[in-house]
Amino acid sequence: MTAAPARVPQKTQNAQKAQKAEAAPATRWGVARTVLRLHRAALIVWGLAVLGLTGWLVWLTEVTADETRAKQEACNLAGLHVCDTNVGLLGYSAPMDGIATLAAHSFIVVAAFAGGALIGRELENGTARLAWSQGITPARWLTAKLACPALAVTVGVTVLVLVFRWAWEPNRVLIGTDWMGDSVFALLGPAAVAYALCALALGTLTALLLRRTLPALAVSAALTWLLSLILVHARASLWPALTRTSATEYVYSPHRAWDLSQGALVHGSPAPQVNHWACNSTAGERQRCLDDLGVTGYYATYHPRSHFWPLHLVETGILLAVAAAAVAVSFRLLRHRTA
């Protein structure tokens, strides 16, 4: 006669449930800790880069800006006419432009890291499949791979954006590049963070497609750089521009506006290629010259300073949409290949 199975005491059952409950979060956080430990060198380099650029911005704002203003005032008192341009560019503007360029284009490094060391190398070496065979699902593996660097780049770029805005706005007169400059535009708001997250997502997708370290690194960097070029080229059209016209006087854009196009109206239509400046003569001869050219007025098309945030947020939304699509395709591709 078969003996009945021994009954597990209630205390033992409760202890086993408690152990399982404790083991689940340990497994989840264990994947994240593994990612951080594996890429701690990259995390340290990124932290030092953010710290270095932040310290440089603070130094420029607290020390160099005051020195530059003092030099400008002394130059103006001497009666020179090139003080603002020369002193500002040499003392403050050039370093600020350099920092903006480095920080705003850090997304290319993020893309190369994601395509190479973060995903491509583990797929090429087989360490990803080893992790999947030890109870870590591919979806959880990819989630940890994306979440940890996404948090790091979000925090780092956000710090750079905040410090740059703090340094740029009160000292804008010392800087040659205004808000419409390519690097400055991105670094004045959340678009810089969106560029970094989009680069991370595109690098991940590229690595999953190619599964080779060096090709994925190169293609990821090139792809994100190409995307940035497309957005910079299309930036002026992301929000409707304004146009001023006049039938008698040449039209100029407002102060600090982004000039897009200006020139003559020929039979009521913008014609920037028409050289109306060639009609510089006496009043009567000038009018006859303009009539011969068909000039009926003047215009200027521009984005005022108030268009910064609409333009910036539309570009940010495009980048985040591309990032979300790339992440969705990455998970779908990984699930298809590991099914």
Mark whether 101 and 148 lie in a shared domain: yes
Domain that residue 262 falls in: 258-303
Residue 249 lies in a domain: no
Best mean pLDDT range from 108-112, 115-119, 263-267: 108-112
Q: Is the pLDDT of residue 204 over 90?
A: yes
Find the mean pLDDT for residues 160-168: 92
- pLDDT > 70: percent of the chain: 80
Q: Mind listing the pLDDT tens digit for each residue in 18-52?
A: 444 433 444 556 667 777 787 888 889 999 999 99
Residue 146 lies in a domain: yes
Mark whether 92 and 214 lie in a shared domain: yes
Mark whether 76 and 110 lie in a shared domain: yes
Mark whether 275 and 127 lie in a shared domain: no
Residue with tokens 């600020």: 96
For residue 321, the surrounding DSSP H or E stretch is helix 308-338
Q: Mind listing the pLDDT tens digit for each residue in 135-155?
A: 788 888 888 889 889 999 999
Mark whether 159 and 263 lie in a shared domain: no
The confidence band for 229, taking pLDDT boundaries of 50, 70 and 90, is: very high
Task: Say if residue 104 is exposed, middle or buried (CB neighbours under 10 Å; 0-12, 13-18, 19+).
Answer: buried
Instruction: Report angle CA 260, 266, 271 to the nearest 5 degrees.
Output: 30
Total count of domains within the chain? 2
- Helices 94-104 and 191-210 pack at an angle, to 10 degrees, of 40
Strands (DSSP E) along the chain, which ranges?
242-246, 258-266, 269-271, 295-303
Say what the pTM is: 0.82
Mark whether 125 and 159 lie in a shared domain: yes
Cα distance between residue 21 and residue 65, in whole Å: 57
Mark whether 90 and 110 lie in a shared domain: yes
Lookup: tokens for 190: 């959340």
Cβ partners under 8 Å of residue 323, min gap 6: 194, 197, 198, 200, 201, 202
Q: How far is CA 31 from CA 127, 128, 330, in A?
A: 13, 12, 19
Task: Let me know how long the chain is.
Answer: 339
